[in-house]
Structure 1
Amino acid sequence: MQLTRYGEFPKDLPLIVDEDMLLYPFMIAPLFISDEDNLKAVELAMESKDKLIFIAPLKSEEEETLDFYDVGIIGTIMRRVPLPEGRVKILFQGLSRGSILQMESTNPRIARVAPILSSSYDPIRIEAILAVLKEKLRLLYNIAQNFPQDLLKSINDTSDPNRAADLISSAIRLKKDQAYKIFKEENPEERLLSLIEITMEEIRAQQIQNEIKNKVNSQMEKVNKEYFLKEQLKQIQKELGGDSNKDSEIEEYRQKLESLKHAMPKDAYKEIQKQINKLSRMHQDSADANLLQNYLEIVLDIPFGKIAKKDLEIDAVQKQLDKDHYALEKPKERILEYFAVRKLLEIRQKEDSKIDSTEAKGTILCFYGPPGVGKTSLANSIATALKRKLVRIALGGLEDVSELRGHRRTYIGAMPGRIVQGLIDAKEINPVIVLDEIDKIRNSFRGDPSSVLLEILDPEQNKEFRDYYTNFNLDLSQVIFVATANDISAIPAPLRDRMEFININSYTPSQKEQIAKKYLIPQELKKHGLQSNEISFTQAAIKMLIEKYTREAGVRNLRRKIAEILRKVSKQILQNIEQENSKKIQITPKTLPNYLDKIVFEFENASKNAEVGLVNGLAWTSVGGDVLKIEALKIKGKGGLHLTGNLGDVMKESAKIAYSYVKSLIDSGVLKIDSKLIPQTQKEKEEKIKPKQSEIYNRFDIHLHVPEGATPKDGPSAGIAIASALASLLTNKKAKGDVAMTGELTLRGKVLPIGGLQEKLIAAYKSGMQEVLIPKKNFERDLDEIPQEVKDGLKIHPVSEFKEVLQIILEK
């Protein structure tokens, strides 16, 4: 359509500012007018003969001022329809591109407008450019979903490059500044080249969009497929009776694992994650699924990262030890030294990170001594002072390695070892673990438990302790291990090398009295619901209870006897309440037999009468010291030695050594034998010949017996006692009944040092002995460890040779 029919241009035309888009000459478009200035422009156009109007697009709102472009479309209003609220709808037909030369009026808006005329161009060049543009448009058409289907046909039907440019500009997405630049361009070649560049950018954008859509669709298909398959699997499991809560349980395992990830070792995280994934692929009713579920519930209960953070205070440890235990000064001192080193290393480590505290952390304390002296309760006091949980692992009779290291999960009924189970029970990774009765572990075909304990107690190895059940390493370096034992000689040598031993000795009678008054009686009163104003124990009753009713190194049986008394007292008090009798009950030596059975255990008190062939020996047992009566008897024979009393091999050899040495003393004349003691042969009687001294042991058999034949006895420390009994028997001289002795004897008569001196001397003291013979070396090095009341109650003789023993033991 030509503008020539509308008169001469430039021409003054009403101006409409459109907010949304550029219009092109070929367009017939409906426009909704509501702006007041635009409504005035419409009215002016409708009043004119040709109804011409100019529409210019509004510039972007990002501009500093809201203004319109200086180009637009010249067109005519084909129809005007009024709308409610003063709005107007017009049907607009574009005629030509135009540009504003100047604004003639702003109210109403009237602008002087001139059409944009095309410059001259090369038809051949334009045709080539159009061919390239059409190719790009076909490619865009193939990949773009919103590309108009009839656009290519319209472009092919036109020979006007400007019309082709306008058609393409209206079809593809253009920014306002791009559309403005192409719209105002007079050179059609430049317009088409710009459109080729924009079309190529659009192709690239569409390709990227399609690639992203494909990926998104592929992922969505995968998710939908998985969801569909899972839903199918759920329905199948539901039909088969499967557990519908399996997924929620597995998700719960995953969440718990992630919450512990920061605190657990990497290999532990990988192993548990692997088993969770394995469980998710299993059917709920399979046997392996149940085993895996048990495994996950156990390992996820291990307290990774849960540490008792109570600061180590030496004063708190000391107060707790003093509160819970009477005496035991040296063990308490050593425990405080142990924790003082740990505390100092912690302080030094904060100052210098190069300091290594592994050695101090790895020190394993082992309390050894008789039963009932407070070994386990010392460990309990340590845990209480440190505000840590106490885990007690009883090793008595343990002979299966799997009890400590755990069972492999391939076995039915597999469970973690006691160490891992102890950590789970404690709910913290650094408790105090007591390895009780470590001397009673045994080897068997199931393995050697002591080898596992080597790894547990070695600070170089327990950082990576592997339990067979969990199948990953655990760090035990923060655990405080405390071992207890009765007899350290029964502990395997490599295991002994890992520990530091603290001897918990027997209690003296006076110490037991104090323990009973300060600890046992108040504790048992509380346990039995009694009050101190309802019952009391006299000092004499407590002393009688200790001396006549208990025989032990510790106070365990003493506690039982007190509990037995209080049970009867509780019954008696209930009867008194019913009879309205509130009289206080007092336990005295006279009333004590009413509450306890007859005396069962007591020390055999020292005999004031000296006897031939009867000597008091001192022995150490796992329940404390004891006094052994060694008896010797001679009967006619040929010099044989008969041993009875359930003696061990070492003690039998000790008896043979003693017999041989006594013979040598007789042969050398040190021991004088009365010739009347030696039976004469018929020939010696006829010829009136005195028999030789040595005939005393050639014409008699010696029977040596250590009473309580059912009790096993072994060890070399009875050597001088056996020799003294034999010397007394063969010389027919009485041995003092209030003298006890201990010491190993050599073939040359030397007295060697022994162990367990404190328990032996306490046993002698309890038995009422007046004098005790001990090896000189023990006297020099061990006497300071003996309680003062024992040293005050006994006359202790150090001896280095057996001849010194004979001078003391035999009566003149």
Structure 2
Amino acid sequence: MQLSDYDAFPTTLPIVVEDELFLYPFMISPIFLTDQKDIDAAADAMENNSLLFVTSSMPGKEGTHDFDTMYKVGVIGSIMRKVHIPDGRVKILFQGLARGKIVEPQEGPFNRAVIDVVTLESYNKLKADALMDILRDKVKKLSALNSQIPADLVRTIEENDEPNRIADLVSSMLKLDKEVAYVLYVEMNIEKRLLGLIDIVTSQIESAKVQREIRTKVHSKIEQTNKEYFLKEQLKEIQQELGMDTQREEEIANFREKIAELKPHMQEDAFKEISKQLDRFARMHPDSADANVLQSYLEWVLELPFGKLTKKNLSVKDVSLELDKDHYSLEKPKERIVEFFSVRELAELRGIKQKETGGVILCFAGPPGVGKTSLANSIATALGRPLVRMALGGLEDVNELRGHRRTYVGAMPGRLVQGLIEAKSMDPVIVLDEIDKVGRSMRGDPTAALLEILDPEQNSKYRDYYLNFNIDLSKAIFIATANDVGRIPAPLRDRMEFIGLNSYTPKEKFEIAKRYLIPQELKKHALKSREFSITDKALKTLIDEYTREAGVRNLRRRIAGLMRKGARQLLEDKTIESISITRKNLEKFTDKKVFEISQVDSKPQVGIVSGLAWTAVGGDVLTIEAIKIKGKGALQLTGSLGDVMKESVRIAHSVVKILIDSGELPISPSIIPHSAKEREERIAVDPSEVYKRYDLHIHVPEGATPKDGPSAGIAMVSAIASILSGQKIDNKVAMTGEVTLTGKVLPIGGLKEKLIAAYKAGVEKALIPMKNYERDLDDIPDEVKNNVKVIGVSRIEEVLKEIFVK
């Protein structure tokens, strides 16, 4: 089939764009069509018995078959066969006839354009023949190195004298990148084409030589490795036949030597168990499964630091200095820690065993980020002992602590034994982190294992299931941390002494940031103190308006964020020598503000009171709102209240009714709704009728947040009393305390956090239970007591005298 059998060129032809293949004239190739435009173009060529123009898509533009994404030079040819495939594609067998180029694109439902035949330039036959001879020689060499180049193609190149045909054949054989293939394809000067192909074939010959050399080396290395393996296996079999397996004997002798070294420091049962297992191991066949299990066991147990103790003597002075160096404030926790180690040091000086002094397990309890784990780190540093941290959060499997019995596949010692091996000492500081978050499941209760670990009467003979002998934990110092003491099981709680770490005041946070956080973060961010600084006002704003926490963890993150942005500016702008964060430019370096505590209302209002609450991240001020609606005395509660707070509201409602009935809470008759008959006859209504003629709706805002706890009683009474009596509540007053039906105010917990929250919210007067006033006021920071007037109340009548605006 020839071009002369069709219309003269230039002529309009349908166009198919091929994404994968790069076609050449005189090639017969199958093409799979998936794009609808291409399928329609092929159908049009078949229907009109016309030629087809096939071109390639540009690199990176595959799939978008538009004129802007296709090459303008391609192949003119005919469709020899067309088949529809069940998956929706169409397969055509395409025969190339000549080079063609797009002259003028045409609009239509599929790609078509005016196509003209590309006329190749004339050439010097002598030069072309010389270049072809060089190319043939190069292709032969490449064929000898690369088995993927077929001999038939080499023969065809040798028998053909047409240079353009030879160039096309070699190009198709080399599997060139689309862009390189197109550059060669559109080159009209045959001499330049042949020279380009010679360069490409030469580079591929060099590449093939390197690959062959590498393959030869790898093959030789593999052969050598296999040879050595087979020889070693043969030697092993010969040694076993002759009873000369020296490697195993050396291993057993090494184990016996280690046991002999450790025997003086082992308990008797430990020595017997390890020796027994070693004897079993020596009698076993080395290829048995039990031999591998026993070998792992012996390797584990002989890593235990039997008899190894830290050489540094316990010094209370060192502990005190280290605690003061690493922590600001926390006076009471630090004092209790020093007392704890004073007893130990005195016992050591007088030669009294720790068991006889009634050892105590310390547990640091408090909100996240207040320094619980940090205190444990400081203790370990001061004592010169290694620190082992065991994160117990979410632990459900008791075998994680106790170890797995050796009958299980993949058995290992428990976390405690692994910690001793890592510490390489039998007296490390072991931190049991998040002990309140230990779980319980079908795999056992880990808290039951912790009872033995933390009991000084029992932990001198602690048994790990994997080891199967007792080890002495009495010399280790155990320190637990917890966020919520109430979630720790009672028997476990009984074995610990709790040291409370409360929220930091803004002043304490400021000092911690200046003394510790900023210097530490400067070092982490590779900054010098002269290159980055934060003014005091900016730091206070960062604490008050950008963090919401009891500790300083988020404050550290905020400071780190400022330093990251500062480091970037120093790198990008070489003219900047230092970054200074001030209150004015703080917003440029940080995200949006997160106000920690909502400020109290700007003016007194009826039915709105500020209550003080304790949360996991410190104290908070809860606004309690009450409204009255004409009704029959019903009570409606909203705000995601828990059962305890719902009962507090009902008790408060009853208490207010009693106060109204007794005349303790005066009610103006003008606020009581009168019926039409009462207004007409001017009947005076008893003030006690007020709570019978109004329905009350009590709401605590932020309904999505669950709220519960026994400390909102007097706040609920105040809100209900205000709304029923019509008296305004002082907006600068906040309160906490539970109330009984008889009007007594009961003590509460978390007073320090609550009063710190009141101080932050701008409260001027705080009402607290009298018992808390008498016993807990010393724990409140002076910064809070100097700015908030704290008043102790024992009955609800005293509360009402303080809250109403005269």
Q: Distance in 2 between matches of 1:282 and 1:678?
A: 96
The answer as to whether partners of 1:361 and 1:478 remain within 8 angstroms in 2 is: no
* Paired position in structure 1 for 2:281: 279
Q: When the two structures are aligned, how many residues end up with a matched partner? A: 573
The answer as to whether partners of 1:614 and 1:630 remain within 8 angstroms in 2 is: yes
* Paired position in structure 2 for 1:585: 579
* Paired position in structure 1 for 2:308: 306
Q: TM-score, with normalisation over the residues of structure 1?
A: 0.68
The answer as to whether partners of 1:635 and 1:700 remain within 8 angstroms in 2 is: yes
Q: What SS is found at the alignment partner of 2:786?
A: helix
**Post-superposition shift, 1:416?**
1.7
Corresponding letter in the other structure for 2:641: L
Q: What SS is found at the alignment partner of 1:444?
A: coil
Corresponding letter in the other structure for 1:732: G
* Paired position in structure 2 for 1:620: 614
* Paired position in structure 1 for 2:547: 550
Cα distance per residue 1:366-393 (max 9 Å; x no partner): 1111111111101100000000011111
Give matches, 1:712-791, under 5 Å: 712-791=706-785
The answer as to whether partners of 2:621 and 2:757 remain within 8 angstroms in 1 is: yes
Q: What SS is found at the alignment partner of 2:350?
A: helix
Cα distance per residue 1:679-722 (max 9 Å; x no partner): 23344345433333333222332222222222222211111111
Q: Distance in 2 between matches of 1:526 and 1:658?
A: 55
Corresponding letter in the other structure for 2:642: G
Structure 1 345/735 Cα, relative in aligned 2: closer, same or farther at 3 Å? same
Residue 368 of structure 2 corresponds to residue 371 of structure 1: yes
Corresponding letter in the other structure for 1:735: I
* Paired position in structure 2 for 1:180: none
Structure 1 316/795 Cα, relative in aligned 2: closer, same or farther at 3 Å? same
**Post-superposition shift, 1:796?**
0.8
* Paired position in structure 2 for 1:418: 415
Cα distance per residue 1:215-268 (max 9 Å; x no partner): xxxxxxxxxxxxxxxx999638969xx997433323322222222111111111
Residue 448 of structure 2 corresponds to residue 451 of structure 1: yes
Q: Distance in 1 between matches of 2:289 and 2:733?
A: 72
Q: Distance in 2 between matches of 1:563 and 1:551?
A: 16
Structure 1 282/601 Cα, relative in aligned 2: closer, same or farther at 3 Å? farther
2:387 equivalent among 379, 385, 390:
390
Structure 1 237/761 Cα, relative in aligned 2: closer, same or farther at 3 Å? farther
- Structure 1: gaps of 5 or more residues: 1-230, 350-354
Q: What SS is found at the alignment partner of 2:622?
A: strand
Structure 1 636/402 Cα, relative in aligned 2: closer, same or farther at 3 Å? farther
Q: Distance in 2 between matches of 1:686 and 1:285?
A: 108
* Paired position in structure 2 for 1:142: none
Cα distance per residue 1:633-656 (max 9 Å; x no partner): 222333222222222222221221
Residue 704 of structure 2 corresponds to residue 707 of structure 1: no
Q: What SS is found at the alignment partner of 1:793?
A: coil
Corresponding letter in the other structure for 2:556: R
**Post-superposition shift, 1:568?**
0.6
Q: Distance in 2 between matches of 1:795 and 1:782?
A: 15
Corresponding letter in the other structure for 1:372: G
Corresponding letter in the other structure for 1:694: S
2:396 equivalent among 396, 399, 409:
399
The answer as to whether partners of 1:361 and 1:480 remain within 8 angstroms in 2 is: no
2:787 equivalent among 777, 790, 793:
793
2:298 equivalent among 296, 299, 307:
296
After superposing the two structures, state which structure 1 stretch, 531-540 or 683-692, moved more.
683-692
Corresponding letter in the other structure for 2:348: E
**Post-superposition shift, 1:397?**
2.1
The answer as to whether partners of 1:362 and 1:459 remain within 8 angstroms in 2 is: yes
Give matches, 1:296-695, under 5 Å: 296-349=298-351, 355-360=352-357, 362-577=359-574, 581-695=575-689
Cα distance per residue 1:611-652 (max 9 Å; x no partner): 111111111122111111111222233322222222222222
Cα distance per residue 1:351-378 (max 9 Å; x no partner): xxxx453154621111111111111101
Q: Distance in 1 between matches of 2:465 and 2:361?
A: 24
The answer as to whether partners of 2:312 and 2:383 remain within 8 angstroms in 1 is: yes
Q: Distance in 1 between matches of 2:626 and 2:293?
A: 67
Corresponding letter in the other structure for 1:364: I
Q: Distance in 2 between matches of 1:245 and 1:682?
A: 109
How high is the sequence identity, in percent, across the aligned residues?
Answer: 64
- After superposition, the CA RMSD in angstroms is 2.2
* Paired position in structure 2 for 1:157: none
Cα distance per residue 1:706-760 (max 9 Å; x no partner): 2222222221111111111111111121111111111111111111111111111
Structure 1 686/582 Cα, relative in aligned 2: closer, same or farther at 3 Å? closer
Structure 1 731/300 Cα, relative in aligned 2: closer, same or farther at 3 Å? same
Cα distance per residue 1:385-428 (max 9 Å; x no partner): 00001111112222222222122222223222211111111111
Q: Distance in 1 between matches of 2:426 and 2:722?
A: 64
Q: Distance in 2 between matches of 1:608 and 1:306?
A: 66
Structure 1 389/676 Cα, relative in aligned 2: closer, same or farther at 3 Å? same
Give matches, 1:119-158, under 5 Å: none
Corresponding letter in the other structure for 2:635: L
Q: Distance in 2 between matches of 1:773 and 1:758?
A: 13
Q: What SS is found at the alignment partner of 1:691?
A: coil
Q: Distance in 2 between matches of 1:321 and 1:585?
A: 32
**Post-superposition shift, 1:286?**
3.1
Cα distance per residue 1:22-54 (max 9 Å; x no partner): xxxxxxxxxxxxxxxxxxxxxxxxxxxxxxxxx
Q: Distance in 2 between matches of 1:545 and 1:322?
A: 25
Q: What SS is found at the alignment partner of 2:716?
A: helix
Structure 1 388/671 Cα, relative in aligned 2: closer, same or farther at 3 Å? same
Corresponding letter in the other structure for 1:258: A
The answer as to whether partners of 2:548 and 2:617 remain within 8 angstroms in 1 is: no
Structure 1 235/547 Cα, relative in aligned 2: closer, same or farther at 3 Å? same
Q: Distance in 1 between matches of 2:703 and 2:271?
A: 60
Cα distance per residue 1:648-678 (max 9 Å; x no partner): 2222212211111111111212112222322
Q: What SS is found at the alignment partner of 2:573?
A: helix
* Deviation beyond 6 Å, 4+ runs, structure 1: 231-234, 236-239
* Paired position in structure 2 for 1:104: none
1:260 equivalent among 259, 262, 278:
262
Q: Distance in 1 between matches of 2:322 and 2:406?
A: 43
Q: Distance in 1 between matches of 2:440 and 2:412?
A: 21
Structure 1 266/631 Cα, relative in aligned 2: closer, same or farther at 3 Å? same
The answer as to whether partners of 1:238 and 1:244 remain within 8 angstroms in 2 is: no
Cα distance per residue 1:77-133 (max 9 Å; x no partner): xxxxxxxxxxxxxxxxxxxxxxxxxxxxxxxxxxxxxxxxxxxxxxxxxxxxxxxxx
Cα distance per residue 1:491-536 (max 9 Å; x no partner): 2222221111111121111111111111000000000000001011
The answer as to whether partners of 1:361 and 1:477 remain within 8 angstroms in 2 is: no
Structure having the higher Rg: 1
Q: Distance in 1 between matches of 2:576 and 2:525?
A: 18
Q: Distance in 2 between matches of 1:314 and 1:636?
A: 69
After superposing the two structures, state which structure 1 stretch, 281-290 or 712-721, moved more.
281-290
